[in-house]
Structure 1
Amino acid sequence: MVNVNLVFGTVYGSAQFTAETLAKEITALGFHTRLMKPDELAGFIPKESDYLIIVCSTTGQGEVSEDIFPWYFHLKTTAPYLPKLKYSIVGLGDSSYDTFCGAAKQFDELLSELGAHAITPRLEIDATETMEPELEAIKWLTTWQAAAIANKA
């Protein structure tokens, strides 16, 4: 069975709820899913044999949310080489801001710098278009599942 680590960073809870919804749906698809809360991420380096999905919202001027920033900073400063890691990013944001999905873009850039490979294009969910980001994420799961099967670890 393929393992999926699902990590989230949230401000008001939308990214957490979206991640929880995705975890249930991914498990129903037959994957072993581990939903990791921000306070469980200290020192976490994803296994390259697992898939990684990051669901994150953007704060202020496009920053990574405060709850997940320590993990982001840890990855950035320790710079583990992860050439076999396959990941996907789900960003929640508001397109009326210039920094729309800035945290998702930062995570995408960082993981790419670490040698990891995105198996899907970054999903950017716009709060000006949907009040229920989890529904957009569920629709996206068809794309993710096809990519996960095609890129089996």
Structure 2
Amino acid sequence: MKKVNLVFGTVYGGAQYVAETMQQLLANSGYDVVLYSSDELVDFVPPQDELLLMICSTTGQGDLPDDILPWFLMMQSTAPYLPELAFGIIGLGDSSYETYCGAAEQLVALFEDLGAKQVGEFLKIDAGETMEPEVAAEAWLPSWCERINNL
């Protein structure tokens, strides 16, 4: 099975908890999984022969959390073209705001600009509807795994 690299951006810890939950579920399913903390992302460019799963909350007016912003800016300015990279995305936000899941949308746009291909549905988890985002992510994960297994 391919390796899955997990990257998260969080303000209050919710996205990190979802990422940790995904790490455990993927590992239990036999995947080789690495969860990157923000300080480990300094020069990290996802290898194209591995998978990338990003979990990101939104802050302010659709902004990226401070912990993932440096990585985003590094990727935006120095990352190579990544046409063989497959990625998944989980966004946490509040649909009562116009910028609902805006940070995750920025990540999608960046990786599409780099040539990467999104695999599976963009999961948007609404804080106004669920108090346990990890439960929604857990329900989404089997369909994502099915798609990545068919790559």
TM over 0.5: yes
The aligned residue for residue 99 of structure 1 is 99
Moved over 3 A (4+): none
CA distance in 2, matches of 1:79, 1:144: 25
Question: How many residues are treated as equivalent by the alignment?
Answer: 151
One-letter code aligned to 1:28: N
CA distance in 1, matches of 2:59, 2:80: 26
CA distance in 2, matches of 1:67, 1:3: 23
Q: CA deviation at 1:79?
A: 3.5
Aligned to 2:58, what secondary structure does the other structure show?
Answer: strand
Aligned to 2:20, what secondary structure does the other structure show?
Answer: helix
One-letter code aligned to 2:145: Q
Provide the alpha-carbon RMSD of the alignment. 0.6
Contact 2:45–2:79 (CA under 8 A) maintained in structure 1: no
Structure 1: state its 5+ residue gaps: none
Structure 2: state its 5+ residue gaps: none
Q: CA deviation at 1:121?
A: 2.0
CA distances 1:67-101 after superposition (whole Å, capped 9, x unpaired):
10000000111141000000001000000100000
The aligned residue for residue 139 of structure 1 is 139
CA distance in 1, matches of 2:27, 2:85: 20
The aligned residue for residue 150 of structure 2 is 150
The aligned residue for residue 4 of structure 1 is 4
CA distance in 2, matches of 1:120, 1:72: 21
Q: CA deviation at 1:150?
A: 1.0
The aligned residue for residue 30 of structure 2 is 30
Aligned to 2:103, what secondary structure does the other structure show?
Answer: helix
The aligned residue for residue 90 of structure 1 is 90
- TM normalised by structure 2 equals 0.98
CA distance in 2, matches of 1:95, 1:35: 27
CA distance in 1, matches of 2:21, 2:83: 28
Percentage identity across aligned positions?
A: 49
- TM normalised by structure 1 equals 0.97
CA distance in 2, matches of 1:104, 1:97: 14
The aligned residue for residue 127 of structure 1 is 127
Contact 2:15–2:56 (CA under 8 A) maintained in structure 1: yes
The aligned residue for residue 59 of structure 2 is 59
